[in-house]
Amino acid sequence: AQKVTQAQTEISVVEKEDVTLDCVYETRDTTYYLFWYKQPPSGELVFLIRRNSFDEQNEISGRYSWNFQKSTSSFNFTITASQVVDSAVYFCALSSFNTNAGKSTFGDGTTLTVKP
């Protein structure tokens, strides 16, 4: 069975603080994919990033960075110098070819509030 755990239900920070959203996953498959999605207060769900299990390179996109560590089964998301516009619910997800191919398992989400 696959599982994604986002232990932080809610996080509140003040603007310009750095914040890390944790994601821990479980899978028996050796080939899998990890994703992050953002759901701002407007409600739409937006795909942010995909990583495959063979690529442990960290990725940086502007103020966003992702740290993938197979040794700890984690795929954490860091926002540097947070802004009010980063306030959203963030979901981590996992998919693999061998378990329910095509379908992603989502975490419960972390609600991030960035205060001015």
What is the closest distance, in whole angstroms, from the C-beta atom of residue 52 to another protein in the complex? 7
Question: Looking at 91, 92, 110, 112, which residue binds another protein (CB under 8 A)?
Answer: 91
Question: Looking at 61, 85, 101, 116, which residue binds another protein (CB under 8 A)?
Answer: 101
If one asks whether residue 35 binds another protein (CB under 8 A), the answer comes out as yes
What lies within 8 Å, CB to CB, of 62 at 6+ separation is: none
Residue 99 burial class via C-beta count within 10 angstroms: exposed 0-12, middle 13-18, buried 19 and up: middle
**Chain centroid, CA 6 distance in Å:** 8
- Whichever of 15 and 65 has its CB closer to another protein, that residue is 65
If one asks whether residue 7 binds another protein (CB under 8 A), the answer comes out as no
